[in-house]
Amino acid sequence: MSLRSLTVRRGECPVVDRATLDVTAGEVAGLIGPNGAGKTTLMRAALGLIPHAGRSSLAALPPLARARAAAYLPQGRQVAWPVPVAALVALGRLPWGGADPDGAVERAIARMGLAAHRDRPATALSGGELARALIARALAQDAPLLLADEPAAGLDPAQQIRTMQVFAALAAEGRSVLVSLHDLGLAARHCTRLILMDRGRIVADGSPAAVLTPQRLAEVFAIRAAHADTPDGPLIQPVAVLDANDPKI
């Protein structure tokens, strides 16, 4: 996926401002930034779901080709009807006319640990189960790129880690993942790269250690965080909100 000066305006005000970005195979790229930074809008514009200026390699594709190139997991976990989980996951095969020669649906169900739930109506699942079922739906699309908008929100710690591990496994297969996250520690430990957005702009892009500096956390998130390096990766725990009038900022 390649974005060049991607811009989305709401009225006069740019919600995404000249975003330039490449996501390449084998990456788990974390998209971070405070609420309203433009993470969701960036993903939607990149997919061509909303009007935008600038260039997105995905949005330039015809709808079906785009659907085969990129799977999208929206933030809102909407399921309108009590469809069985297996049928829900199989919706991921629509861009292929419903065909599933390689058993992508079964693989996605197994990968997300949904085998026991496959016949249950999706509307009867718990929040965490539904989140997994929807991730499985996106995996069943078997696209080389996954755009996941806050997939970890509302998941318990084990499910958060498992979800990030699934993304890492996708990257190991040579696919790429662009995932927006609010948990900076989770982002730092599980993403190969972080893209930091602030008020519509990409203000930093690089390794987690390079992006999550105390100064940026203060400038962009207005927080102070405790850092520690552990054998399991960096720990980042926000501990205080900084006062905008504080002379230290």
Residues that bind other proteins (CB under 8 A): 44, 47, 49, 63-64, 66-68, 70-74, 76, 78-84, 87-88, 91-92, 94-95, 98, 121, 123, 134, 137, 141
DSSP assignments along 21-42, one per residue: EE--TT-EEEEE-STTSSHHHH
Q: Are 216 and 187 in contact (CB under 8 A)?
A: no
Give the shortest CB-242-to-other proteins separation in angstroms: 34
- Shortest Cβ 35–other proteins spacing (Å): 19
DSSP state of 84: B
| CB of 170 vs other proteins, minimal distance in Å | 17
In the complex, least distance from residue 135 CB atom to other proteins, rounded to whole angstroms:
12
Q: Which is nearer to other proteins, 104 or 212 (CB)?
A: 104
Rounded Cα distance between 61 and 69, Å, is 9
Q: Is 175 left (phi over 0), alpha (psi -120 to 50) or beta?
A: beta
Q: Of 84 and 238, which CB lies nearer to other proteins in the complex structure?
A: 84
Smaller CB separation from other proteins, 134 or 188: 134
**97 or 174, CB closer to other proteins?**
97
CB nearer other proteins, residue 67 or residue 204: 67
Q: Which residues of 27-65 are buried (b: 16+ CB within 10 A; e: fewer)?
A: bbbbbbbeeebbbbbbbbbbbbeeebebebbbbebeeee
Give the shortest CB-64-to-other proteins separation in angstroms. 4
Cα(214)–Cα(221) distance, integer angstroms: 10
